[in-house]
Structure 1
Amino acid sequence: MPALELKTNVRVADPKAFSLEFSKFAAETLGKPEAYISVNYHYSELLTFNGSFDPALILSIHSLDNINPKANEEYSKKFFAFFKEKLGVPDDRGYITFVDPGRPNIGFRSTTFGALWG
């Protein structure tokens, strides 16, 4: 169920193509089927980091079961490398927040993952 929210001050030429590429990359990186991945690219010219409008980002990753300190470090390396290549954002110009909301706290199919899978 990974849901990824990317906010950046970098405008991409084709947001739909970028979002699909980001979705595929996220599925591979997080080890989840792409059928469960949701991504959102949000451009904001007003996003600042360290007092400037230089390329920057904020990424929130909400995922069940695979968020932990060791995995997060590896994910961070991979996501920042992806954003450096695709958006030109260096790894010191953004934050990634990793959240495991717990199965009872995610709604799906008119119920929750907690009700569906315990």
Structure 2
Amino acid sequence: MIQNLKTLTDHRGSLTVIERLPFDIKRVYFLHHINPDETRGGHAHKELRRIMVAAHGSFKVTMRSMSGYHEFNLSDPTVGLLIEPYQWLELSTFTPDAVCLVLASLEHDESDCIRDFIEFKRAL
């Protein structure tokens, strides 16, 4: 689930590389300017795979899947969270400066989304 991203650091600063993912990238998006009281996500995908990175700031990811319940506090831009299909996500506790970068294996397809938690539990 957690992926350490290759980071090169010298006197000029750090450069973090995202490469050799377990999927081809078809879509890149980022979430930003999120009210700290808001929750994002609240759905799962049937086929989509993603890598999620806290490019700036921090936020909490709550994940539910066949393997159980997991919480991740993402705050390090050198760490990515691999999200496989059939993992219900909720993102919360955003810092005011949070930027959530997401690399996705597919373009957006609403038919790939499961937005009802009861339906998600049945699909497992």
Q: TM class by shorter-chain length?
A: under 0.3
TM-score scaled by length of structure 2 = 0.23
Greater helix content: 1
TM-score scaled by length of structure 1 = 0.24
Greater strand content: 2
